[in-house]
Structure 1
């Protein structure tokens, strides 16, 4: 794939319906992008992809480097071959500040994807990590009900994520969907809230090409209702 195109495996509504027992190899994801996020088989933990390296952030607070991507499965992931078109420095006091910043940087991108990377010191980071399904086809809402929440203070690290347009809800997560990992690669998760400690580096790009690969020969996916549950997705994704 070219730079700044979106590649996605499966859809978020499938996770809501518990489609997570199968998937595609992480190596397939890396063939399409070097930055991104997602989850792992049975929704065990949060995925972040940075500079072509994949990390699994688990509910027990540990982080695992995925050293054999051909042997690890993801039921949902979104990646891009990230080449930022805009760089800036900013102090960001939360999600609304980020929304305002990105809207100012990309005023004509309301109906496009954006890819965002932020590097620096964060005054506070509030994240969650999913503990995984307890039974096949258990939905994402039930899994999220057992999620673990962690708060980190004055930590240096990286946030990466996507802003997806409203019409993508159910396919992806409309709005800002971001994951964090610290510089030591020892803690991280799905962003619930954050605030920077002074200015950080912000790199971003507008994405206009979207590629979707759906699961095949997967009974869970074939039998799933895949009805858009915008309220449920917002509740789960924060």
Structure 2
């Protein structure tokens, strides 16, 4: 199989499908890993948050536990985004939150407003506000309902890594417009979907712009075929932070 090209982005399914509760089926995570080594997503039935760093996959669950995925051929993702991450810009910066990050990205890539940007941040964080989804209680339960039972955490003075993507506005519903990022601590004991963060002094920031985006849609999936897939921008913004 051909190796993925650096910094191209591959995505399986779309966020609007999760909003409509399409999460019973998907592809093996081993298949997702053929497209890159850094990414994020979720698991069957929206059971927790996924982060992929250097090809290592972790499931961050609502009870606060972190499970390494050691048999990716046996674990299914209904939604995942991945890239072969090779940062084209590396800087050290102190970042006070998502708005500050957006200013930094604009300075690094002033002509990338309508492009995807992959982001990795390593260092010590003064505060990380994160959430993890607890999973569907029944098939086709939508993400807004699932998110009503999500667990939220605030981690303070924690060392770890944030990875995610800055997606352009026009892909809202396909992905999440703006920054969509997950965090895992260096000891691999804490993590989740990033709602907010602040660094403790300077951290290492690696970024890469992407102009190639590949998307694969589910096939032979009754849930996906039956889903309305209408754009719910307010709902996506509410659950994705």
TM (norm. structure 1) is 1.00
Q: Name the counterpart of 1:77.
A: 80
Task: Indicate the RMSD between aligned Cα atoms, in angstroms.
Answer: 0.4
Q: Does 1:139 align with 2:142?
A: yes
CA distance in 2, matches of 1:146, 1:75: 19
Q: Name the counterpart of 2:97.
A: 94
Q: Name the counterpart of 1:105.
A: 108
CA distance in 2, matches of 1:72, 1:175: 28
Instruction: After superposition, give the CA deviation of every residue in 1:99-154 in whole Å (9 maximum; x if it has no partner).
Output: 10001100000000000000000000010000000000000000000000011100
Among residues 5, 25, 41, which one is paired with 2:8 in the alignment?
Answer: 5
CA distance in 2, matches of 1:212, 1:94: 29
CA distance in 1, matches of 2:210, 2:20: 28
Cα deviation for residue 166 of structure 1 reads: 0.3
Aligned residues: 238
The alignment partner of 2:6 has SS state of: coil
CA distance in 2, matches of 1:233, 1:152: 24
Segments of 4+ moved more than 6 angstroms: none
Q: Name the counterpart of 1:175.
A: 178
CA distance in 1, matches of 2:149, 2:121: 28
Instruction: After superposition, give the CA deviation of every residue in 1:74-123 in whole Å (9 maximum; x if it has no partner).
Output: 00000000000000000001111001000110000000000000000000
Q: 1:147-226 residue pairs with structure 2 within 5 A?
A: 147-226=150-229
Gaps of 5+ in 2: none
TM (norm. structure 2) is 0.98
